[in-house]
């Protein structure tokens, strides 16, 4: 690794430590927007047909932002990373549920999937920055 690369990693870690206030994290703010999108997609579908899937999607979406916030409040970087991994897992759970929604009800939500993919990439980037 080059010296510049290592300095960049150190600087990124220092920035992240300063940003432990989760409300300042772009990924948290974007996950809140994702929650809004998830809650809105079910308004157009028949309530009786999608209740379980709706409930599970909402819980997964809420779990993403909640785990980012909880991890940011922990004492160590290691704990923060662990909660970021949990948030990432919840994002993949939500992705799976949206695929099921598409396959069963024929509803596609490309903007939501794009937003979810962005959140996943940001979580991966944050995890990598904290573990290098």
Q: What is the pLDDT of residues 72-108, one digit of tens each?
A: 988 889 999 999 999 999 999 999 999 998 998 888 8
Q: Which of 21, 33, 30, 27 is nearest to 129 (CA)?
A: 27
What domains can be seen in the chain, in order of their start residue?
A: 3-131 (1.20.1440.60)
Q: Give the list of residues 6+ apart from residue 86 with CB closer than 8 angstroms, or none.
A: 63, 67, 71
Asked whether residue 45 carries a pLDDT value surpassing 60, the answer given is yes
How far apart, in whole angstroms, are the C-alpha atoms of residue 80 and residue 86? 10
Q: Which residues contact 29 (CB under 8 A, 6 or more apart)?
A: 23
How far from chain centre, in Å, is Cα 47? 26
Whole-angstrom distance, CA of residue 49 vs CA of residue 55:
12
Cα 103 from Cα 98, distance rounded (Å): 9
Range in 4-8, 18-22, 69-73 with the lowest mean pLDDT: 4-8
């Amino acid at each position: 690794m080059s010296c510049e690369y290592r300095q960049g990693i150190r600087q990124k870690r220092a920035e992240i430590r300063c940003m432990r206030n989760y409300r300042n994290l772009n990924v948290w703010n974007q996950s809140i927007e994702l929650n809004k999108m998830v809650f809105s997609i079910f308004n157009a579908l028949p309530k009786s047909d999608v209740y379980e899937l709706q409930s599970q999607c909402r819980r997964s979406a809420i779990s993403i932002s909640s785990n980012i916030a909880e991890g940011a409040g922990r004492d160590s970087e290691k704990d923060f990373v662990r909660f970021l991994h949990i948030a990432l897992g919840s994002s993949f759970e939500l992705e799976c549920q949206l695929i099921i929604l598409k396959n069963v009800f024929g509803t596609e939500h490309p903007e939501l999937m794009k937003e979810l993919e962005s959140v996943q990439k940001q979580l991966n980037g944050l995890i990598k920055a904290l573990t290098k």
